Amino acid sequence: MPSFLPNRGPGRLIVVEGIDGSGKSTQLALMSQWLRLRGYAVAFSEWNSSPLVRETTRRGKKKEMFTPTSFSLIHATDFADRMERYILPLLKAGAVVCADRYAYTAFARDVVRGVDRGWVRNLYRFAPKPDLAFYFKVPLEVALGRILGGRNALKYYEAGMDLDLSRNIEESFRIFQGRILTEYESMIEEMGFQVIDATKSIESQQKEMRRIVLREFGRTRPPGVLGVELNATRLHA
């Protein structure tokens, strides 16, 4: 099965993965702040955020006209665009790129939508392998409680309504997320995820992540051009 390319650096790539409501964005925001304070040049990239596909995605979603394959291709296009224009140049310049979801999201979601496992992995084979991939492991009910408690309206595709799992949107969301969770679990070993117990407090998860980053990256910054001198002066002042 095709795999990722090595990250040739000198920057580092950190990604967060897990089902909706597992706490990824919360933890990544805290992690980015901390890395900045440690003198790293930090950049951030979010799943499905490229301007290139925004209009197509919006129109396709509105009319509920995506098939699993076209949905998968749209996400891969978004990813490729962000990779070329943003992530790779920043890695080459020595930044730490923090990605809120990565190709693993496609591996989990698209497969649940019925796309062939090998096919979707092949789509992303141009991507660099993350230096650290955190997986936020959480029981379905905990994540659902956070999500459903925090906002009122679930959206059609995020609830997997295109799969005809249930006519009830909340029930569909539950079944869809449950299947995605199973896919994530089956990737833990294969993908070398750093598993974080996402039922714990925000503080204790963050502490664990920082411990892992220090262990993996060491206490020195990667050699790079972005902001290093400026930050070095600040750090040693």
Ligand X SMILES: Nc1ncnc2c1ncn2[C@@H]1O[C@H](COP(=O)(O)OP(=O)(O)OP(=O)(O)O)[C@@H](O)[C@H]1O
Interacting residues toward Mg ion by CB under 5 A: 25
CB atoms within 10 A of CB 231: 17
Shortest separation between residue 93's beta carbon and Mg ion, angstroms: 26
Shortest separation between residue 237's beta carbon and ligand X, angstroms: 33
Single out the residue of 14, 15, 21, 165 in contact with ligand X (rule: CB under 6 A): 21
β-bridge partners, 135: 17, 195
| Distance separating alpha carbons of residues 128 and 197, to the nearest angstrom | 26
Single out the residue of 20, 81, 183, 185 in contact with ligand X (rule: CB under 6 A): 20
Shortest separation between residue 25's beta carbon and Mg ion, angstroms: 3
Single out the residue of 62, 164, 167, 201 in contact with ligand X (rule: CB under 6 A): 201
| Residue 11 vs 79, nearer CB to ligand X | 79
| Residue 7 vs 22, nearer CB to ligand X | 22
| Distance separating alpha carbons of residues 50 and 68, to the nearest angstrom | 20
| Distance separating alpha carbons of residues 91 and 154, to the nearest angstrom | 35
- Residue 26 in the binding site for ligand X (CB under 6 A): yes
Instruction: Give CA angle at 221 (218, 222), nearest 5°.
Output: 100
Single out the residue of 11, 18, 160, 224 in contact with ligand X (rule: CB under 6 A): 18
Q: Give CA separation, 221 vs 8, 30, 96, 168, 226, in Å.
A: 16, 18, 10, 50, 11
Shortest separation between residue 24's beta carbon and Mg ion, angstroms: 5
| 49 touches, from ligand X, Mg ion, none (C-beta below 5 to 8 Å by class) | none
Instruction: Give CA angle at 72 (109, 121), nearest 5°.
Output: 75
Among residues 117, 136, 114, 131, the alpha carbon closest in space to that of 185 is found at 136
Per DSSP bridges, beta strands 42-46 and 12-17 are unpaired
| Distance separating alpha carbons of residues 40 and 13, to the nearest angstrom | 12
Single out the residue of 2, 8, 25, 170 in contact with ligand X (rule: CB under 6 A): 25
- Residue 33 in the binding site for ligand X (CB under 6 A): no
Of 145-174, binders to ligand X (CB under 6 A) are 146, 150
| Residue 201 vs 220, nearer CB to ligand X | 201
| 22 touches, from ligand X, Mg ion, none (C-beta below 5 to 8 Å by class) | ligand X
Give the interface with ligand X as residue ranges (CB under 6 A): 18, 20-26, 146, 150, 201-202, 205
